[in-house]
Amino acid sequence: MTRDWGTAPRKRQETTKYDRGFWDFTSDLSSKDTAYTSLGLEAHTDTTYFSDPAGLQLFHLLSHTDGSGGESLLVDGFRAAEILKREDPAAYRTLSEVGVWSHASGNEGVSIRPYKAFPVLQHEPWTGGLVQVRWNNADRAGLDVGFSRIQEWYDAAAYVLHPLLFSIVYLAPAENADMVVAASSTRY
């Protein structure tokens, strides 16, 4: 199958609440978000509250002198989805069909949400291939589904959280570390 690249969706650098791509942050809770703490974060994708969430992200740890926390859990969401599709096709289908509302609203005067509820697993319309994983319990607002499917979604979500689906890499910063990590929740 060929693709008309003239009409294919493309990612571009956009101005967001985080400016045009580079910002410093530390565990001072300057932004009311768990990323600005030294608390551990569960597996998630960033910026699910944007209609077009971050694709490729680079994290560059410049210094961790006298710091605490900062350990990172990285999960291959595409591999987890592949295993889910093989092991429980009904759960995969549910997470591909049911829209999930997301939001960011911790800071005063800030309320960000996408223009619609997106499914956890998004597929390309041309090929049907999985192109994006959107998973963030901390930003999840509600489900865009009738009452009859709510339990179905939660059952599928519980399956996603099963540790056998995870290809996990733990990264722990060292003092005076200089480390770069690239992550993407989108396939291009």
Q: What is the pLDDT of residues 13-30, one digit of tens each?
A: 555 555 555 566 667 767
The answer as to whether 21 is a domain residue is no
Cβ(104)–Cβ(49) below 8 Å: yes
Query: Is 1 part of a structural domain of the chain?
Result: no
Query: In this model, does residue 96 exceed pLDDT 80?
Result: yes
| Residue 61, CA atoms < 13 Å, CB-side half-sphere | 19
Per-residue pLDDT tens digits for 144-170: 999 999 999 999 998 776 655 555 565
**What is the C-alpha separation between 53 and 12, in angstroms, rounded?**
11
Residue 111: C-alpha distances to residues 3, 31, 52, 100 (Å): 37, 13, 16, 16
pTM beyond 0.85? no
Q: How many domains does the chain have?
A: 1
* Residue 18 belongs to a domain: no
In a domain, 70, yes or no: yes
In a domain, residue 89? The reply is: yes
Euclidean distance between CA atoms 56 and 36, whole angstroms: 20
Q: Which domain holds residue 90?
A: 34-184
Indicate whether 9 belongs to any domain. no
Pick the range with the lowest mean pLDDT from 34-48, 84-98, 173-187.
Answer: 173-187
On whether residue 138 sits in a domain, the answer given is yes
From CA 141, how far away is CA 12, in angstroms rounded? 27
Residue 68 lies in a domain: yes
CATH number of the domain encompassing residue 96? 3.60.130.10
